[in-house]
Amino acid sequence: MIRVEVAIAAPLDQSLAYDLADDTPGPWSADQSPVGRRVLVPLGGRSLTGYVLAVLPDEEVAYTVRRVLKVLDRIPLFHENLLPFFRWASTYYHYPLGQVIKTALPAGLAPKSVREILLVDGKNEAMLASFTEQPPEWAVRLAAAGRLSAAESSLVLGRGAARKNIDLLRREGILELQETVSKDAVREKMETCFSLSPDLQDLSATLPDAGEGEGWIEAWCRQAGLSLKLSEKKTLAVLVRLALQSQGIDIPAKELYRLYAGGRKAIPALLAQGLVGQLERRIFRNPFGEPVGLQKRPERLTDEQEEVLSQIVPALAAGKYTTFLLHGITGCGKTEVYLRAAEETLARGRDVLVLVPEIALATQLEEHFLSRFGEAVVLLHSGLTTAERFDQWFLALTGRAKIVIGARSALFAPLKDPGLIVVDEEHDAGFKQDDSFRYHGRDLAVLRGRCHEAVVLLGSATPSVTSSYHARTGKYTLLQMTRRVGERALPSVTIVDLSRKKSGEAKGLFRQELRQALAENLEKGQQSVLLLNRRGFSSVMLCQDCGAPVECLHCRVSLTLHKARKRLICHYCGYTVDHRVICSNCHSTGLLVPVGFGTERVEEEARLLLPEARIARLDSDTAADRRTFLQILKAMRARQIDVLIGTQMIAKGHHFPHVTLVGVVWADGGLNMPDFRAAEKTFQLITQVTGRAGRGEELGRVIIQTMRPDHYAIRFAQQHQYEELYQHELQIRRSPAFPPFVRLVALHIQGEREADVRGTAENIADCCRREARQRKAAIETLGPAPAPLERLKRNYRWQVLLKAANLDDLHLICRYVQENRQGLAVGASRIAIDVDPENMM
Ligand code: ADP
Ligand code: ZN
Ligand code: ZN
């Protein structure tokens, strides 16, 4: 019996102690360490999943320690060296440790506790007799089988009338409810394989060519004194041949039966005689649906690549934690730097973790890494099915994969010894998770690097202001690359002022400059990209009679017209209605007037303007599944598309050498957002999309349409002036103070009743102010105020923003709020703590 520390996958502030007996059921033996395995433990009246964190010293305690009910895993799911990292992440983000670990493990692993209805032995008659009328069907089945399955039990328990009966029968001691564990949603996929007895293996090694017939098996049987049936001899012959081909690897049963169907019947006899052995082997599903395009390793590095590597390689050799910020303009060859650093890391026997903001980028990096490292690479991202992701994750856990590439959550990949962690496009907001466990993938990557003494490489053409600040104040080391590969020039950027309209100009989304450039580019047989960071056809639909916008039923948000689908769709909750909706304000059935525009309308206008062009659109509507997404990208690369239209999805990462024109349809949409990062984000988006032009032989050009041509974000993006933007932002953020000069925590309050939510928000703001005063902490409390998106998915949303120069002060207050959240919440309101918030909406 040992005592273990268990973090339960539930909102508990602390881990708990349990006793683990040597004979606890489960695929585990008492001589193995339980750390890193999942266990089933009792808590209150339920059984819950938990994770074993440590073996505790065997001390007297003042309370009764309960026993672990079951060990769930054959092998530990995480290495012990990840625990300090998990603990730190839990403390930093004020999120329960068990739920942090649950987030870190692939979906489909956490078994739920379910209930089964059991009949007490010998109570069949008593139960049936308890019904005054005909017993219901479930009772008849229960009497016959003695128990009901979990699925049926849950159905029966859900029915009011049946529930009453059951409660009564339980009190009379006729029935019991038993907690059990539902099966994991995803399991390792196994296949049956056969192996040959040692004698037969020897035989297969000396086997003559297949051409010489099968007489040898006869001879072998005679020599071994065996008399076998014909089908058995045939089966052996096939197996021996297959063993020869597979060079000793066990033979899948499927393979045998495919070649010789009679094997099915013969196998039991061969097994019984010990000529053949049988085993179950794990199989891996290959997520790379398509063959990957091979990318060559360049023979020579550019001077700048040499230069930055000359700083990275010694850090890798030293095996000490270091974070580099690699600021390199678009097309300067950052990927090659990642690849060389990865080669160095593997050569030292350590692992590599590569994080990208979203699936769009993974495809590009995937190809480079797969070309160079092949089987050592696994992918972890949302484009995979749950089962595929589980497989990939398992390969990393068992050390068979040395390189993991993935989106945000790949950060938790179970690599044993990461020596290099790359975060590509480190500025991207996609690294921040916006619900439940609100972590920032880049920031946790830096932390994980510290825990493993790894080199962290943050790369971007437009680093976040915060990372740049760290790189200039000594926290990170700055590396810069300022020239494109092959000395290609950055494209020239023209700004078109949308606020001034020339007389006689055609209506529509494209001004004369852009119309002309599009037509010319098509004429020359070159590709164009059009960016508008908003999907759908038009963003607001107004009632023709009363002017009211059509809003979502669940959110205080206008519905967007999706013309192709003839639906109005809420972009926040997915609620949709027919496009011929009746006005809820005046009940008019008249027409709706579309206002504003999205990518769908850009596509429509582009088709009108260039009827002969091949046009495609890439946004989350058209790229809902990865296959379609890959097809569009492939077609673009194969030059089967002339004009690609899309949202920010097309702006980053891609390398399309034949794109020579980029048009930004409306550049300043994002500037109107209530977010202190609005200008920074606009600059990043324009710079990224600008970087798509002129990556091949031909020079590129960019046309930016904007209502605010004098805004600094747009000016600096036009001139490719990152440094100026950075300095300007620093100046603005000094007063009123915003990051990097202060740290922020947002407290989000949500609930279905407006008064409760407001009350909770007021309680929290009061509490923060009072606590800060008492602790003499320099914390500024802003709010409470309704969130910019005041109502989403039926929930009212309020927020309180905390600002402080000292992060420790903020953590103290957060902990206080977390520990007292029950007292602070009015009604059913929920409180979420968001440390270093990205999304201010
Ligand atoms: P970034 O990610 O910095 O925008 P990429 O890594 O996509 O730029 O590189 C741009 C292009 O230059 C790619 O096609 C890449 O294969 C190529 N490239 C990178 N390094 C070299 C090199 N040393 N020699 C030749 N071509 C290179
Ligand atoms: Zn109306
Ligand atoms: Zn909605």
pLDDT at 180: 60
What is the side-by-side strand order in the sheet with 795-804? Answer: 779-792, 795-804, 743-751, 830-835
Q: What is the DSSP letter of 20?
A: E
> 728 to each of 680, 731, 733, how far by Cα in Å?
10, 5, 9
- Kindly provide the b/e burial profile for residues 225-260, where b requires at least 16 CB atoms within 10 angstroms of the residue's own CB: eeebeebbbbbbbbbbbbbeeeeeebbbbebbeeeb
Q: Whose CA is nearest to atom 5 of ligand 1?
A: 333
Name every residue whose Cβ is closer than 8 Å to that of residue 694 and which is 6 or more positions away in sequence.
488, 489, 490, 491, 659, 660, 700, 701
Instruction: Give the separation between CA 469 and CA 465, rounded to whole angstroms.
Output: 6
In what helix (H) or strand (E) does residue 365 lie, and over which residues does it extend?
A: helix 359-373
Q: Which amino acid is at 316?
A: L
Q: What is the mean pLDDT of the chain?
A: 87
The per-residue pLDDT for range 62-84, each reduced to its tens digit, is 788 899 999 988 778 899 999 99
At CA 552, angle to CA 551 and CA 554, rounded to 5? 135
Is residue 495 over pLDDT 80? yes
Taking residues 756-761, report their average pLDDT. Answer: 94
Distance from residue 597's CA to the centre of ligand 2 (Å): 21
Ligand 1: atom nearest CA of 302 is 23
Confidence of residue 114 (pLDDT cuts 50, 70, 90): low
pLDDT at 18: 95
Residue whose Cα lies nearest atom 23 of ligand 1: it is 301
Name the closest-CA residue to atom 2, ligand 1: 334
The structure tokens listed for 692 are 């798509």
Q: What is the pLDDT of residues 447-469, one digit of tens each?
A: 999 999 999 999 999 999 999 99
Instruction: Give the range among 175-184, 384-393, 489-498, 521-530 with minimum mean pLDDT.
Output: 175-184
User: What residue ranges line ligand 1, CB within 6 angstroms?
Assistant: 298, 300-302, 305, 328, 330-336, 485, 655
> Model pTM greater than 0.95?
no
Is the pLDDT score of 112 beyond 60? no
Which ligand is nearest to the Cα of residue 574, counting in written order? 3
Which of 302, 485, 695 should be mutated for ligand 1, with most atoms under 8 A from CB?
A: 485
Nearest CA to ligand 1 atom 25: 298
> For residues 546 and 527, what is the distance between their CA atoms, to the nearest angstrom?
44
DSSP conformation letters of 584-646: TTT---SPEEEES--HHHHHHHHHHH-TTS-EEEESTTTTSSHHHHHHHHHHHHTT--SEEEE
- Does the CA dihedral 420-425-428-433 come out positive or negative? negative
Residue nearest to ligand 1 atom 1, measured at CA: 331
What's the CA gap between 240 and 532, in Å, rounded? Answer: 62
Give 246's pLDDT tier (boundaries 50, 70, 90).
Answer: low
Cα–Cα distances in angstroms (integers) from residue 628 to residues 292, 316, 475, 569, 633, in the given order: 16, 39, 42, 21, 9
Closest ligand to Cα 294: 1
Segment 724-752, tens digit of pLDDT: 999 999 999 998 889 999 999 999 999 99
What is the DSSP-derived secondary structure letter of residue 665? S
Residues 6+ apart with CB under 8 A from 787: 748, 797, 798, 799, 841
CA terminus-to-terminus distance, the chain: 51
Least confident of 205-219, 524-538, 729-743, 801-815: 205-219
Separation of CA 552 and ligand 3 centre (Å): 5
Out of 3-17, 486-500, 613-627, 825-839, least confident range:
613-627
pLDDT digit string, tens, across residues 159-173 = 888 888 888 888 888
- Answer whether residue 363 shows pLDDT above 70: no
- Which atom belonging to ligand 1 lies closest to the Cα atom of 305? 23
**Average pLDDT score over residue span 172-185:** 70
Tokens matching residue 424: 């590509």
Ligand 1 atom index nearest CA of 330 = 4
pLDDT band at 573 (very low <50, low <70, confident <90, very high): confident
Whether the predicted pLDDT of 301 surpasses 90 = yes
Ligand closest to 583 (CA) is 2
Cα torsion at 427, 430, 432, 436 (round to 10°)? 180
Q: What is the pLDDT of residues 673-723, one digit of tens each?
A: 778 899 999 999 999 888 888 777 788 899 999 999 999 999 999 999 999
What pLDDT, on the 0 to 100 scale, is given for residue 294?
64
pLDDT tens figures, 19-37: 999 888 887 788 888 999 9
Ligand nearest to the CA of 547: 2
325 pLDDT band, cuts 50/70/90, is: very high
Question: Does residue 147 have a pLDDT over 90?
Answer: no
